[in-house]
Amino acid sequence: MRRWILLSCVIVFSSWAFAQDIIRLPAPDKSASMTLFQALQDRHSERSFSERPLSLETLSSLLWAATGVNRTDGHLTAPTAVNAQDISVYVATKDGVSVYVPADNTLRKVTSTDVRKSVADRQQGVANAPVFLIVVSDLARLGDRGDRTVILAAEDAGYVSQNICLASTALGLITVPRYTMDRDALKQALGLTDSHRFMINHPVGYRAE
Ligand SMILES: Cc1cc2nc3c(=O)[nH]c(=O)nc-3n(C[C@H](O)[C@H](O)[C@H](O)COP(=O)(O)O)c2cc1C
């Protein structure tokens, strides 16, 4: 009897922990009123963020625009070489880091550590941004293509980065694409392997008053 009670407690606790580790995002709102050409006109880099957090609705729209599923066959808003889908977007906030899973529109917790200072690195002026989107390529997904592998990964990341720039503009947010980040610290914090490359990151948020 005591064993069954113990087992039930373990199951209940595990499901609770699991629920905390997976956030099901609301469906992305694709009805932003700004036209693509207006977003292209307005896009620019900004680096002074307010600490106002992003709602889950806004985050969902931003992530979908970055690299969400846009067709029934599972293809994405951003193209990837040979449809390798090598790019993952990690979402860093004060509560830790999660990885965006386009297939089921969820965020999966990777760590509870606030890594924003490591992402900001030598530009601590942006460390207070409420969200950093960290764009990572898993080169293994591209296969062995010699010198071309890293070039293809950079091109794949570039599309995602531009999607983030334009979607941020359309959603009334500010951002800047940044190569700067402490890659060693982030590799350790996120538990990534040697096949992963930190391509670029985006602090995203509202303009400081
Ligand atoms: C590949 C790439 C890397 C960049 N890295 C950084 C960076 O590490 N830090 C930074 O403050 N801005 C960075 N930027 C932003 C550029 O400085 C910025 O885009 C450029 O000055 C043009 O300004 P605009 O984006 O307003 O047109 C980067 C931009 C690109 C495309």
Element spanning 104, H or E: none
Q: Which domains does the chain have, with CATH numbers?
A: 23-205 (3.40.109.10)
pTM exceeds 0.95? no
Residue-wise DSSP of 46-78: ---B--PPPPHHHHHHHHHHHH-B-STT--BSS
| pLDDT greater than 60 at residue 5 | no
Cα(184) to centroid of ligand 1, in Å?
21
Protein residue whose Cα sits closest to atom 4 of ligand 1 = 178
Give 16's pLDDT tier (boundaries 50, 70, 90): very low
pLDDT tens by residue, 133-176: 999 999 999 999 999 999 999 999 999 999 999 999 999 999 99
pLDDT (0 to 100) of residue 116: 98
Nearest-angstrom CA–CA distance, 118 and 164: 21
Cα(170) to centroid of ligand 1, in Å?
19
Measured from the CB, is residue 153 less than 6 Å from ligand 1? no
Atom of ligand 1 nearest to the CA of 126: 11
> Which of 45, 160, 199, 202 best tests ligand 1's pocket when mutated (most atoms within 8 Å of CB)?
45
pLDDT tens by residue, 77-115: 999 999 999 999 999 999 999 999 999 999 999 999 999
Nearest-angstrom CA–CA distance, 84 and 153: 10
Cα(176) to centroid of ligand 1, in Å?
6
Give 12's pLDDT tier (boundaries 50, 70, 90): very low
Measured from the CB, is residue 199 less than 6 Å from ligand 1? no
pLDDT (0 to 100) of residue 32: 87
Measured from the CB, is residue 202 less than 6 Å from ligand 1? no
Atom of ligand 1 nearest to the CA of 181: 8
Cα(181) to centroid of ligand 1, in Å?
13
- Which of 106, 73, 112, 114 has the alpha carbon at shortest distance from 88? 106
Cα(159) to centroid of ligand 1, in Å?
15
Nearest-angstrom CA–CA distance, 82 and 195: 18
Residue of 112 and 12 predicted with greater confidence: 112
Mean of per-residue pLDDT scores for the chain: 93
